[in-house]
Amino acid sequence: MKITSVFQSLLIGFVAAATVLASAADKKPLKVGFAQTGAESAWRTANSESMKAEAAKRGIDLKFSDGLGKQENQIRAIRSFVTQHVDAIVLAPLVETGWDPVLREAKRAGIPVIITDRTIQTADESLYVCFIGSDFLTEGRMAADWLAKKVNGKGRIVELQGTPGSAPANDRRKSFGEAIAKYPELKIIDAQSGDFRRTGGKEVMEAFIKKHGKDIDILYAHNDDMALGAVQAIEEAGLKPGKDIVIVSIDAVREGVQAVVDGKINCTVECNPLFGPKVYDTIQKVIAGEKVERKSFNKDELFDSTNAAAVIATRQY
């Protein structure tokens, strides 16, 4: 064998070995860090479950962090994902503001960030790759339009708001308020946060009833958990939810839709939490260097007495 062909075969061997190594590296499970807000509602539980189950199905190494309803916990989680050199970070931001410094750290480390569920306000749009979630402004408007029809543009509303500073609370308040402004006799007489929790909904509704008594015609709740807590408060006050007080809510989690079937909630606007598959599809594209949609919204429906019974058996969350 001539010297050059020895080199040639060595070279071929080296390239082959490198290729094997590279494809072994490709097969290393994708490491994804997910900074979840907490576990405040049935919606949230379904969302966490979708993210976990889909990761397991795809062999993705998911680092899941429960923020326990605190932004500082989520910030700490993102920092630890950066230290662990994850391939991508998914953030479901508790509130809209205050993310820029930590997102800058992720960017500096070259880790792509996908924002899911709730939008953020940022001075630098390059700090995240894309957003995947629902359109909360549309949801609030759908709730208002449905309500205006139901009550003929007339009634006194109490509003149970979500977590202060969160995108769904901000947007659902804003678009609902703007939509009912077209009806001079449809008025919000009181509003307070129940933090998207059932206990919060119950407590605030008790206070509303104490303060306004029979003056409440309508409850607008930013999510089903709070509406369900309020249903309990209304019943305990000797009133009939869905009849004495018209209830319109958002999420369409199974228990919410069941309450519509039972006539205790009159309408719930869907907000689909099952976007695990979409999130990982997107991450895989981002890592492969493919272009992804900057903002992708799930399509949401509305359930009332006309269609709730037909879907309850097949409701996935």
The reply on whether position 87 binds ligand GYE by CB under 6 A is: no
**Nearer CB in complex with ligand GYE: 111/130:** 130
**Nearer CB in complex with ligand GYE: 41/161:** 41
Overall size of the chain counted in residues? 317
Per-residue x/- track, 255-284, ligand GYE (CB under 6 A):
----------------x-------------
**Which residues are CB-contacts of 289 (< 8 A; sequence separation ≥ 6)?**
none
- Specify the stretch interacting with ligand GYE by CB under 6 A; choose among 39-47, 257-265, 282-290, 306-314: 39-47
- Specify the stretch interacting with ligand GYE by CB under 6 A; choose among 36-44, 63-71, 76-84, 299-307: 36-44
The CB-of-227 to ligand GYE minimum distance in angstroms stands at: 10
Tokens of 22: 């590279």
Tokens of 141: 């408007």
**Nearer CB in complex with ligand GYE: 172/264:** 172
- Tell me the β-bridge partners of 245: 241
**Which residues are CB-contacts of 22 (< 8 A; sequence separation ≥ 6)?**
none
Q: Which amino acid is at 22?
A: A
Which of 49, 44, 271, 3 is CA-nearest to residue 143?
Answer: 271
Binding to ligand GYE (CB under 6 A) within 168-187 occurs at: 168
Q: How many CB atoms lie within 10 A of CB 7?
A: 10
Which of 185, 122, 131 is CA-nearest to residue 157?
Answer: 185
The CB-of-221 to ligand GYE minimum distance in angstroms stands at: 10
* Interface residue list for ligand GYE (CB under 6 A): 40-41, 43-44, 117-118, 168, 196, 223, 225, 250-251, 271
